[in-house]
Amino acid sequence: MTYKTETYHAVFLESMTERRYKRIQAVLAKRQPDLSVLAEDVYKPHNLSAMLRTCDAVGIGEVHAVTPTGGIPTFNETSASADKWVNLHVYDALPDALETLKAQNMQLLAAHLSDEAVDYRDVDYTQPTCILLGNEKRGVSTEAALRADKHIIIPMLGMVQSLNVSVATAVILFEAQRQRRAAQMYDTPRLSEAQIHEQTFRWLYPRETEKLEADGQLFPDLDEKGYIISP
């Protein structure tokens, strides 16, 4: 009986690893490395968590945040642990974040009501793009608005003039996803094989990743089921 139980658990764990490996590979094949979000002074952790969840849903793997005054979001039911699947880069000052994004040739679209603002559906999201969203009360800062390449708005037909920042993020990003799907940008992997392998290993083997990095070692290869190939 003990033997059968141990065998069952071994088979179950093997099956789970293989399924997880295939799921990770499928997700990374859709990642959009040239689409991102910059959250400026978003002070409610649950809002930032919800933004990360939307980013993961549309294939964004790298998100940026400037001085999230409420702190870094923790794993919770709101994010469905999306924090684990999206890399959040935190900056102390806006210029540092903008320098990083400009180095990636990203167009910066600020969700900001101004005389120059255009409908969020009337811009091209197939270009390298970062969406800038600001503080829940004040919106984007004056400096951020001035540094943005373009201002976009979500037309509001009711008495309320704006959406919750996490809802606005979802509305804009799913338009970006729609355009990119039409342009077949999700049809082939846009991350390199090396990037996919590294991220796959990190997600599949977090404990081993920590040890290998501490020892300054490279990640080993994986077989077709996601198991580590011994050197």
Question: Six-digit token pair at 208?
Answer: 């081993």
162 and 209 both lie in a single domain: no
Which of 164, 182, 200 is the last residue in one of the domains? 182
77 and 144 both lie in a single domain: yes
**Buried-exposed string 80-113: b where 16+ CB fall within 10 A, e elsewhere:** bebbebbebeebeebeebbebbeeeebbbbbbbb
105 and 219 both lie in a single domain: no
DSSP secondary structure letter of residue 136: T
54 and 124 both lie in a single domain: yes
51 and 159 both lie in a single domain: yes
229 and 171 both lie in a single domain: no
Tell me how far apart the alpha carbons of residues 85 and 57 are, in angstroms, rounded to a whole number: 10
Residue 17 falls within a domain, yes or no?
no
102 and 168 both lie in a single domain: yes
How many percent of the chain have pLDDT more than 90?
Answer: 77
Give me the amino acid identity at 224: E
Residue 210 falls within a domain, yes or no?
yes
Give residue-wise pLDDT tens across range 40-92: 999 888 899 999 999 999 999 999 999 875 555 544 444 445 668 999 999 99
115 and 208 both lie in a single domain: no
197 and 174 both lie in a single domain: no
Residue 18 falls within a domain, yes or no?
no
59 and 94 both lie in a single domain: yes
* Residue-number span of the structural domain to which 214 is assigned: 192-231
46 and 143 both lie in a single domain: yes
| 1 has a pLDDT exceeding 90 | no
Computed on alpha carbons and rounded to an integer, the radius of gyration of the chain in Å comes to 20
CB 68 within 8 A of CB 40: no
* pLDDT (0 to 100) of residue 15: 67
Residue 3 falls within a domain, yes or no?
no
Q: Dihedrals φ, ψ of 63, to 5°? A: -125, 150
Question: Six-digit token pair at 2?
Answer: 């003990």
* pLDDT (0 to 100) of residue 82: 62
- Kindly indicate the confidence band of residue 210, based on its pLDDT and cuts at 50, 70 and 90: very high
Residue 46 falls within a domain, yes or no?
yes
Question: Six-digit token pair at 59?
Answer: 């294939």
* pLDDT (0 to 100) of residue 95: 95
Residue 16 falls within a domain, yes or no?
no
Residue 114 falls within a domain, yes or no?
yes
Average pLDDT over residues 186-191: 97
Residue 11 falls within a domain, yes or no?
no
88 and 153 both lie in a single domain: yes
Give residue-wise pLDDT tens across range 106-147: 999 999 999 999 999 999 999 999 999 999 888 999 999 999
Tell me which of 93 and 162 has the higher pLDDT: 93
Tell me how far apart the alpha carbons of residues 157 and 64 are, in angstroms, rounded to a whole number: 30
* pLDDT (0 to 100) of residue 161: 81
CATH of the domain at 162: 3.40.1280.10
Question: What is the reported pTM?
Answer: 0.87
Number of domains in the chain: 2
